[in-house]
Amino acid sequence: MRDTIHNYCRIGIVLGMAYPECSTSEEAYLSSLKKILIDPFFTVVELGSLPFSSLEEKVPTMVKIAHADMTYSGHGLLFSQKLNINSLDEKERNRAVSLLKQGIDQAYEWGCEEFQFLSRQYEEGKEDAYLEQLILSTDELCTYAKQKGDMKLCLEVFDHTLDKKSLLGPAPLVRKYAQAVCEAHDNFGIMVDCSHIPMIGESIDEAVDPIKGYISHVHMGNTFISDPDHPSYGDNHPRFGFPGSENDTEYLTAFLQKIKDIGYLKDGGENILSFEVKPQGDEDSDLVVANAKRTLLNAWKRVR
C-alpha cells in the first residue's frame, strides 16, 4: 500500500512486553512509557496491572497528556494468582471472575477503552465442559462491564498445546465461543495475534476466516517453536526475523493482507493493530521496537 498504514488503523504496543525493565522500578516504568508516548508512530499503549502503587495516578495522566489511548490486559492478574477462568472447580472460577472484575474497575478508573483477558488450561477430552464455564464467566464479565459504562471486553486467542496451553485455542472452538457470547452481549470481541497462529498449527486463513466477524483487536508478533530446548521457545514474542523463528516480513505481509481483506484494516479505520514483541537475552528494547516498526512499514508496502 502506498497510503500510510496510520490511515487504516491505530498502531499500539504492549508496553511491559517491549520493555521488561518496567517491572524493576518506578523510574524504569515511567521512562519506558514516555518513550512510547512521545513517538507519534503509536496511538495506543497496552497496559496491565501496575508493578508499583505509586504509578496509579502518574500513568493515566501521562497517557492523557500525550493524547494517546489505553487498553488494559487482565492476563497478568490470572497468571499471578494461577487462576483459571474456565475452571470446572466453581470456587476457582468465581475467584478468577472476581479478580478480573477488579481489573475492569481499574481499567475504568484509568479511562481505558478495552479490557482484555484469556482462557486458561483445560483437560483433553473435556473441552466442551471447559467451554461452558468460559462462556459463563464471560457472560458475568460482560454484564459487569456494561453496568459501569461502554468499555469493550476482548478475549485473546492463545496457543492450545505448547506454552500457555489455553482452551482458546483453535479457530473452530473460538467461533463456537464467540457466537455464544456475542448473541447475548454487544460489548465483546476476539483478539487474534499472528504470533500465536503458528503455535496453534493453523494457517492464517484457518485462524481468521471462521471468526472474522468477531475480531475486535489484532496483535502482531513472532514466535520460536522449532526447538523446545531453546530459551526463546514458546510464547516469548522475539523480534521479527529472529534466527530460527516463524514470522518475518513475508508472513506479516500475508497477515496484514488477510485482515485488510476482511475489513479490519480500512481507509479511515480506527481499529487497533498492536505489536507484542520482547527483547531476547540482552537485546536492547529500543532496537526491538525499531525492528517492529520497520518490519510493519516494509510489509505494508507489499499489501494490495
Specify the CATH number for the domain of residue 26. Answer: 3.20.20.150
Q: Over range 142-156, report the average pLDDT.
A: 98
**For all residues of the chain together, what is the average pLDDT?**
97
Amino acid at site 250? E
Alpha-carbon span 191 to 292, nearest angstrom: 19
CB 194 within 8 A of CB 206: no
Asked whether residue 1 carries a pLDDT value surpassing 90, the answer given is: no
Question: Residue 210: its pLDDT value, please?
Answer: 98
Q: Mapped to the 3 state alphabet, what secondary structure does 235-252 carry?
A: CCCCCCCCCCCCCCHHHH
State the residue range of the domain holding 263.
5-302
CA distances from 187 to 72, 102, 138, 181, 268 (A): 15, 18, 11, 10, 22
What integer pLDDT is reported at residue 2 of this predicted model?
A: 76
Query: Any bridge partners for residue 275, and if so which?
Result: 13, 220
Quick one: the chain helix, strand, coil %, rounded to 5?
45, 15, 40
**Is the pLDDT reported for residue 36 higher than 80?**
yes
Question: Where do the H-state alpha helices sit in 120-248?
Answer: 127-148, 171-182, 197-200, 204-208
- What is the reported pLDDT for 243? 97
Judging by DSSP bridges, how do beta strands 44-48 and 215-220 pair with one another? Answer: unpaired
Beta strands in the chain (DSSP E): 10-14, 44-48, 69-73, 114-118, 152-156, 188-193, 215-220, 272-275
Please give the pLDDT value at position 108.
Answer: 98
The pair phi, psi for residue 214, each rounded to 5°, is: -115, -5
pLDDT of residue 64: 98
Using the predicted structure, report yes or no on whether residue 26 has a pLDDT greater than 90: yes
Cβ-contact 87, 96 below 8 angstroms: yes
CA dist., res. 277 & res. 21, Å (int): 14
Question: What's the pLDDT score for residue 10?
Answer: 98
Q: Report the percent of the chain where pLDDT is more than 70.
A: 100
- What integer pLDDT is reported at residue 14 of this predicted model? 98
Closest CA to 80 of 170, 16, 35: 16
- pLDDT-based confidence at residue 126 (cuts at 50, 70, 90): very high
Q: How many domains does the chain have?
A: 1
* Distance, CA of 72 to chain centre: 10
Cβ within 8 Å of residue 87, ≥6 positions away: 93, 96, 120, 133
Residue range 180-207: mean pLDDT, rounded: 98
Q: What is the CA radius of gyration of the chain?
A: 18
Query: In the prediction, which pLDDT does 143 show?
Result: 98
Tens of pLDDT, residue by residue over 7-22, are 999 999 999 999 999 9
Rounded-to-integer distance, Cα 30 and Cα 55, Å:
8
* Termini Cα distance of the chain: 6
Which residue matches cell numbers 470446572? 88
- 11 in Cβ contact with 274 (< 8 Å): yes
